Amino acid sequence: MSPISVRQATLDDISIVSEILAEAAAWLDRQNMSLWQPEHIALSVIRQEIELGLFYIAFCEGVAAGVVQFQTEDLEFWPDVIQADSAFLHRLAVRRSFAGGAISTQIFQWAIEHSRELGKHFLRLDCVADRPRLRSIYEHFGFKHHSDRQVGDYFVARYEYEISDRLDRDC
């Protein structure tokens, strides 16, 4: 697979971000693994998050293949860590036509490099704790389990990837 390119989403991209998130949410629903409620991926919410500069789009050979929410602060899921040391990922979603792991792996690699460029020491993410397959994907990539935490209605497993000065491996 060709390397992806990643760029920050603009308001012109709202339909792309919305479509990819909706496709992922529908697939999760069909697998009985519902995750995002409709209000979490409503156009008004996505618009606001794009305006805040939080969404990035991954392109594979010019086609929008995935999205990710990249934050430099997360007081909701990670209030107990030094925010300035970390970047945080949420809502990584890949179109089903690109499913298989290559796109998400390349998004992780991009996020690590972007975090490094920002001077961060950790890339952190979370998932619902009862998702062993997803947790295995994170662990296989190199994320280490940090802790579990109750956040509102969600009991989440929190993971971190320590960013060093060395260049990370290519997958």
Model confidence at 36, in pLDDT bands (50, 70, 90)?
A: confident
Model confidence at 170, in pLDDT bands (50, 70, 90)?
A: very low
Does any domain span residue 167? Answer: no
Mean pLDDT, rounded, for 91-97: 94
Mean pLDDT, rounded, for 36-44: 84
Does any domain span residue 169? Answer: no
Model confidence at 126, in pLDDT bands (50, 70, 90)?
A: very high
Q: Which two tokens stand for residue 102?
A: 């290559």
21 lies in which domain range? 5-162
Model confidence at 1, in pLDDT bands (50, 70, 90)?
A: low
Note the pLDDT of residue 165.
Answer: 61
Model confidence at 88, in pLDDT bands (50, 70, 90)?
A: very high
Helix (H) or strand (E) segment spanning residue 66? strand 63-71
Cβ neighbours around 148 below 10 Å, total: 11
Judge whether residue 50 has pLDDT over 90.
yes
- Number of structural domains, the chain? 1
Does any domain span residue 168? Answer: no
Q: What CATH number has the domain bearing residue 16?
A: 3.40.630.30
